[in-house]
């Protein structure tokens, strides 16, 4: 139904779990995909084993994917570039790749975060690095472990213009990977980034031994905080009730595929936050995003008690159980007085 006859050359920058999974989706549609990893030994291991053993163990890589640790090979002469690197590395990697990116080539980003030092959304970072860049985001409830195994997944594409979002939609959509478009770039980026903070909180709740009631409250009040900050930063309210808002929040707060939730569980069990991140063994985006969101909330004078509590737990200013007591003991309010 969604076969692509106009096949493209696509460079995927970042061979983590999601970059690898999306490279498989694109290869399955007949595109010519080159997958880049920073470390040569990572590429060599993928070549010899036929899989990405660190990030997606047990999933065979298609033979047609070209593997490289050379940025020029990955980026030069491509029709599209897909960036799948951690949010705090995005500026550096994009800057290194910029000389190979022609003005007409779109950059699609799947990282979910806010740049900690500048407090910029990643689309703003991209514009800062390459003024006038053709930029789009692919986001939504999409754990790489399921995408790579072709389990049904639905996401949204948002671009600086609707035509670009539609290009991305056509590029990726399959019978198992459904793509909608969304014109609210700010909302899509903020929903994807901020839900990781709430997922840390959901994990902490689980680690403390609390039940489903507590997690449901964490998620519900969490989307309130996300919406409150999002509206202040120019997003549209309806986006937060969609795939990249409540959809992404649900999957990240409830799944054991979620690094943020797993990290939160360890913290709730009493593990030091730095040690918890080490045990996860991969980037936990909610850690840096909590710092950025806490600073943004202070800048705009926005009430974000869950974010504030998680920030203080991460920085050792409050233990996890005290954070819960703080949240439960706040002054009485009307639930609907939220925005």
The pLDDT, as a whole number, for residue 6 is 81
- Is 278 among the catalytic positions? no
Residue ranges and CATH numbers for the domains of the chain are 9-183 (3.40.50.720), 186-328 (1.10.1040.10)
In this prediction the pTM is 0.94
**10-residue stretch averages of pLDDT, the chain, 339 residues long:** 73 98 97 97 97 96 97 97 97 97 96 96 98 97 97 96 95 97 97 97 94 92 96 97 97 96 96 96 94 97 94 92 80 66
What is residue 215's predicted lDDT score, i.e. its pLDDT? 92
Please answer whether residues 244 and 121 qualify as being in contact, where contact means their C-beta atoms are separated by less than 8 angstroms. Answer: no
Q: According to the model, what pLDDT value does residue 183 have?
A: 95
- Please report which residue ranges of 77-153 form alpha helices under DSSP H: 90-97, 122-129, 144-147
Q: What is the 3-state secondary structure (H, E, C) of 5-54?
A: CCCCEEEEECCCHHHHHHHHHHHHCCCEEEEECCCHHHHHHHHHHCECCC
Burial class (CB in 10 A: 0-12, 13-18, 19+), 5: exposed
> Would you state the pLDDT for residue 95?
98
- Give the pLDDT of residue 331: 67
* C-beta neighbour count of 16 within 10 angstroms: 22
3-state secondary structure of 159: strand
Backbone angles phi, psi at 13, to 5 degrees: -100, 100
Measuring CA to CA, how many Å separate 144 from each of 10, 59, 330?
Answer: 19, 11, 38
Q: Is 141 helix (H, G, I), strand (E, B) or coil?
A: coil
Q: How far apart are CA 279 and CA 140, in angstroms?
A: 26
CA-CA distance, 14 to 20, in Å (whole number)?
Answer: 8
Q: Which of 29, 78, 160, 195 is catalytic?
A: 195
């Amino acid at each position: 139904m969604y076969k692509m006859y106009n096949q493209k050359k696509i460079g995927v920058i970042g061979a983590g779990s999601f970059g690898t999974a999306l490279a498989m989706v694109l290869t399955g549609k007949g595109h010519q995909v080159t997958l880049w990893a920073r470390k040569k030994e990572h590429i060599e291991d993928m070549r010899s084993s036929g899989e990405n053993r660190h990030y997606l163990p047990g999933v065979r890589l298609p033979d047609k994917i070209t593997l490289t640790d050379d940025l020029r090979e990955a980026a030069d002469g491509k029709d599209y570039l897909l960036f799948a690197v951690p949010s705090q590395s995005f500026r550096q990697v994009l800057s290194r790749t910029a000389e190979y990116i022609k003005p007409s080539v779109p950059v699609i980003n799947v990282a979910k975060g806010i740049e900690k030092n500048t407090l910029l959304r990643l689309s703003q970072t991209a514009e800062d690095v390459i003024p006038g860049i053709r930029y789009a985001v692919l986001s939504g409830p999409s754990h790489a472990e399921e995408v790579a195994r072709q389990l049904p997944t639905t996401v949204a594409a948002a671009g600086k213009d609707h035509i670009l979002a539609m290009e991305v939609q056509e590029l990726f959509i399959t019978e198992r990977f459904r793509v909608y478009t969304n014109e609210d770039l700010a909302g899509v980026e903020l929903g994807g980034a901020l839900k990781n903070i709430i997922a840390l909180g959901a994990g902490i709740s689980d680690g403390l031994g609390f039940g489903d009631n507590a997690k449901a409250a964490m998620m519900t009040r969490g989307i309130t905080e996300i919406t409150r900050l999002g509206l202040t930063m120019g997003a549209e309210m309806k986006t937060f009730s969609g795939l990249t808002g409540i959809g992404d929040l649900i999957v990240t707060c409830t799944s054991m595929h979620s690094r943020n939730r797993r990290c939160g569980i360890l913290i709730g069990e009493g593990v030091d936050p730095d040690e918890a991140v080490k045990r996860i063994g991969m980037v936990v985006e909610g850690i840096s995003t909590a710092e950025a969101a806490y600073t943004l909330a202070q800048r705009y004078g926005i009430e974000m008690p869950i974010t504030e509590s998680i920030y203080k737990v991460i920085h050792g200013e409050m233990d996890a159980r005290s954070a819960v007591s703080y949240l439960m003991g706040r002054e009485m309010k009307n639930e609907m007085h939220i925005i």
